[in-house]
C-alpha cells in the first residue's frame, strides 16, 4: 500500500462528508414554508447600532430606522469615533426622544464590537423601570450600513419567533444592498467595475442561498446561528446570559455566533427568519473581502472552544450537537482539505504521467473523470446560483450559468481564508481592524486596530 492510496481514500471521504452536508441543507431549504407574522406592538424594540467613524452612513441609518419602524428605539454606540459620528448622533438624539447616544471613550473603547454592544445593554437596562417586563423588550443589532426589511418586526413578533416564550434570539436573512450597483468602484476601470459587480453578486448569492440553507437546517436541529447584522435577542435572555457569564456578548471575533451559543446554553431557542431580511453592503474589493472572511473564519475557530459545553449541555438537541460540532470543526476540515487535495491532485498527475510517459497522453486518458468532477466538484456549488436565479433574483439561463461557474470559483476564497485564519491562530494574532465601508474605501486607514 503506497502513501497515496490512504490520502486518496481520505480525499474521497472528505468529499462524501461535504456532499452529504450539501444534500442536508438543500432539502429543508427548498421545502421550507413561510412563517406566520405577529403583532409588533406587543413588544418594545431597541436597535443597537455599534459605530466607529461612520459619519458617512450613520445619519441615513438613523433616519431610515426611525422612518421604517416608528416603534423602535435606536441606540447608537459611538466607540470613540475620530470623525463626526458622535456629533451626528447627538444631533439626532436631541431632535428625537427615541434616539439615544451611548458614548464610549478610550481606554474603555475600541475593545471590540461585543464590548460596545454590552455598553448599550447596560445603558438600556439602566434606563428601564425595575418592574419592566424584560421578556417583552427585544434588542436587534444593526450595522451602521444596515437596513431592516419593512416586515422585520412583524416576522420577529410571529408565533415561531418571539411569540414563542422559549425563543431567546432570532436571525433574519441577509441581503446585499449593493448587489445591483453598476458602479461599485467609482472612478475605476470597466474591468474593475465588472469585478466589483461580480463580487457583490456572489456575496448576495452566498448569503441568500448557501448561508440561508445552513440556517434552515439549523432551524430543524435547533442550532440557528446569529450573525453580526439583523440579530434579534430577547432582553430577558441577554439577562440570563449576563447572570451566568458576566455579560451577554463575549470576546470572540464572531461575537454574534458566540451569543447564539450562549443563548442556547442558557436554555433558550434561536430561530431563523428567512421571510424577512437586513440589507448590508457587500465588498467589491477582493482584498477587503478576504480580510473580512479571514476574520470570520478565525472567529469560528475560536468558537470551537465551546464544543465541550455544547456537548455537555442538556439544552442542546442531539441533532443540534452534531450540527454545531460540524460547523465549528468545518474550518479545520477545510485546512485538512488544503493539504490533502493538492497532494492527491499533484501525486495523481505525476503518477499518471510516469505511467503513460506523457502528461498530455495521461490527461486524455483520464478525461473520463471530467463528468464526475462536474457532478461532485462543481454542481454542489453551482446549484446555489441556480436556486437564486430561479427563485430570488430571476435572470436568464445564460446569466444563471455564468453565475454558477463564477460561484464555483468564488467559494475557493474560503480555503484562502481558512489558511490565513489558521496561521493567525497559530501565531496568536487576534487583533483586527474593522471592515471599511465602501463610502470610505478611498481613505487611508489610520490606526484602526480593534
Partner 1 sequence: MSAAAFTPGPIAAGRQRPVATSIAARVLGIVLLLSVPLLALSQGVFRVAEAWVTRFAVDAVTDGSAAAAGNIVYFGIGSGSVTGLDITMLCSTAVLFAPVLALAGVLLLIPGFRASRIAVGLLAALALCVLVNMVRYASAAFAFQTWGMSGFDIIHRYAGSILVILGLMAALVLIVVFAVRSGRWTGPRRRSTWQPARWGGLR
| 220 belongs to the binding site for partner 1 (CB under 8 A) | yes
Rounded to an integer, what distance in angstroms lies between the CA atom of residue 447 and that of residue 439?
18
Asked if 315 is part of the footprint of partner 1 (rule: CB under 8 A), the reply reads yes
* Member of 130, 190, 360, 368 binding partner 1 (CB under 8 A): 368
The set of residues, in sequence order, having a beta carbon less than 8 Å from that of 171 and lying 6+ positions away, is 215, 224, 225, 226, 227, 230, 231, 232, 260, 270, 271, 272, 273
Q: What is the rounded (10 degree) CA torsion for 343, 345, 351, 357?
A: -140
211 secondary structure, DSSP code: I
Applying CB under 8 A, does 154 fall inside the site for partner 1? no
Does position 413 interact with partner 1 (CB under 8 A)? The reply is no
Output the nine-digit C-alpha cell for 202.
456572489
Number of residues that bind partner 1 (CB under 8 A): 51
Of 257-276, which residues contact partner 1 (CB under 8 A)?
266-269
Which residue from 187, 371, 428, 431 is in contact with partner 1, where contact means CB under 8 A? Answer: 371
Helix axis angle, 4-31 relative to 318-356, nearest 10°? 140
Q: Among residues 90 and 340, whose Cβ is nearest to partner 1? A: 340
By CB under 8 A, is residue 8 in contact with partner 1? yes
Residue span binding partner 1 (CB under 8 A) among the ranges 71-79, 100-108, 184-192, 312-320: 312-320
Q: How far is the CB of 362 from partner 1 (least distance, A)?
A: 16
Judged by CB under 8 A, does residue 345 bind partner 1? no
CB of 388 to partner 1, least distance (A): 23
- Give least dist CB 315 to partner 1, A: 5
Q: Least distance in Å: CB of 268 to partner 1? A: 5
**3 contributes a contact to partner 1 by CB under 8 A:** no
Give the gyration radius of the chain's Cα atoms. Answer: 23
In terms of CB distance, is 5 or 449 closer to partner 1?
5
Residues within window 42-61 making contact with partner 1, judged by CB under 8 A: 42
Q: Does 71 bind partner 1 (CB under 8 A)?
A: no
Q: Characterize 140-172 residue by residue with b for buried, 16 or more Cβ atoms within 10 angstroms of its Cβ, and e for exposed.
A: bbbbbbbbbbebbbbbbbbebbbbeeebbbbbb
Which residue, 22 or 211, has its beta carbon nearer to partner 1? 22
Q: What DSSP string runs through 400-448? A: HHHHHHHHHHHTTHHHHHHHHHHHHHHTT----BPPPPGGGTTSPP-S-
Mark 105-144 with x for binding to partner 1 (rule: CB under 8 A) and - for no binding: ----------------------------x-xx--------
> Does 356 interact with partner 1 (rule: CB under 8 A)?
no
Distances from the Cα of 391 to the Cαs of 182, 205, 343, 387, 395, in angstroms? 22, 11, 39, 6, 9
User: Is 51:78 a contact under the CB 8 Å cutoff?
Assistant: yes
Of residues 319, 356, 413, 414, which one binds partner 1 by CB under 8 A?
319
* 3-state SS assignment for residue 337: helix
Residue bearing cell 494574532:
429
Taking CB under 8 A as the binding criterion, the range among 85-93, 205-213, 309-317, 341-349 that sits at the site for partner 1 is: 309-317
Amino acid at each position: 500500500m503506497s502513501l497515496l492510496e490512504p490520502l486518496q481514500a481520505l480525499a474521497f471521504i472528505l468529499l462524501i462528508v461535504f456532499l452529504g452536508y450539501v444534500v442536508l441543507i438543500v432539502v429543508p431549504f427548498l421545502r421550507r414554508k413561510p412563517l406566520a407574522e405577529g403583532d409588533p406592538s406587543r413588544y418594545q424594540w431597541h436597535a443597537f447600532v455599534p459605530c466607529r467613524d461612520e459619519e458617512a452612513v450613520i445619519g441615513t441609518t438613523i433616519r431610515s430606522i426611525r422612518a421604517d419602524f416608528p416603534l423602535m428605539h435606536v441606540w447608537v454606540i459611538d466607540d470613540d469615533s475620530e470623525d463626526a459620528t458622535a456629533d451626528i448622533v447627538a444631533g439626532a438624539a436631541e431632535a428625537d426622544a427615541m434616539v439615544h447616544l451611548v458614548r464610549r471613550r478610550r481606554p474603555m473603547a475600541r475593545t471590540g464590537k461585543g464590548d460596545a454592544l454590552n455598553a448599550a445593554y447596560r445603558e438600556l437596562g439602566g434606563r428601564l423601570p425595575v418592574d419592566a417586563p424584560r421578556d417583552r423588550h427585544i434588542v436587534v443589532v444593526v450595522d451602521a450600513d444596515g437596513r431592516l426589511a419593512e416586515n422585520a418586526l412583524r416576522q420577529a413578533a410571529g408565533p415561531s419567533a418571539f411569540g414563542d416564550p422559549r425563543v431567546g434570539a432570532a436571525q433574519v436573512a441577509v441581503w446585499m444592498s449593493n448587489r445591483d450597483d453598476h458602479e461599485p468602484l467609482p472612478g475605476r476601470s470597466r474591468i474593475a467595475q465588472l469585478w466589483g459587480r461580480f463580487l457583490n453578486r456572489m456575496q448576495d448569492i452566498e448569503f441568500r442561498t448557501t448561508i440561508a440553507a445552513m440556517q434552515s437546517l439549523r432551524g430543524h436541529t435547533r442550532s440557528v446561528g446569529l450573525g453580526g447584522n439583523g440579530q434579534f435577542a430577547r432582553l430577558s435572555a441577554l439577562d440570563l446570559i449576563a447572570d451566568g457569564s458576566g455579560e451577554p456578548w463575549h470576546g470572540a471575533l464572531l461575537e454574534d455566533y458566540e451569543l447564539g451559543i450562549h443563548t442556547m446554553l442558557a436554555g433558550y431557542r434561536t430561530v431563523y427568519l428567512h421571510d424577512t431580511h437586513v440589507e448590508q453592503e457587500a465588498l467589491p474589493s477582493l482584498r477587503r473581502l478576504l480580510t473580512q472572511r479571514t476574520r470570520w473564519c478565525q472567529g469560528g475557530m475560536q468558537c470551537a472552544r465551546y464544543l465541550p459545553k455544547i456537548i455537555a449541555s442538556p439544552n442542546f438537541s442531539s441533532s443540534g450537537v452534531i450540527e454545531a460540532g460540524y460547523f465549528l470543526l468545518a474550518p479545520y476540515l477545510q485546512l485538512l482539505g488544503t493539504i490533502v487535495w493538492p497532494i492527491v491532485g499533484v501525486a495523481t498527475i505525476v503518477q499518471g504521467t510516469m505511467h503513460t510517459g506523457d502528461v498530455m497522453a495521461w490527461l486524455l486518458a483520464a478525461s473520463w473523470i471530467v463528468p464526475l468532477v462536474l457532478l461532485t466538484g462543481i454542481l454542489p456549488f453551482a446549484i446555489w446560483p441556480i436556486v437564486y436565479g430561479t427563485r430570488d433574483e430571476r435572470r436568464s439561463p445564460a446569466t444563471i450559468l455564468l453565475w454558477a461557474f463564477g460561484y464555483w470559483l468564488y467559494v475557493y476564497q474560503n480555503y484562502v481564508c481558512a489558511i490565513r485564519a489558521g496561521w493567525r491562530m497559530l501565531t496568536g494574532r487576534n487583533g483586527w481592524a474593522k471592515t471599511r465601508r465602501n463610502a470610505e474605501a478611498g481613505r487611508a486607514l489610520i490606526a484602526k486596530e480593534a
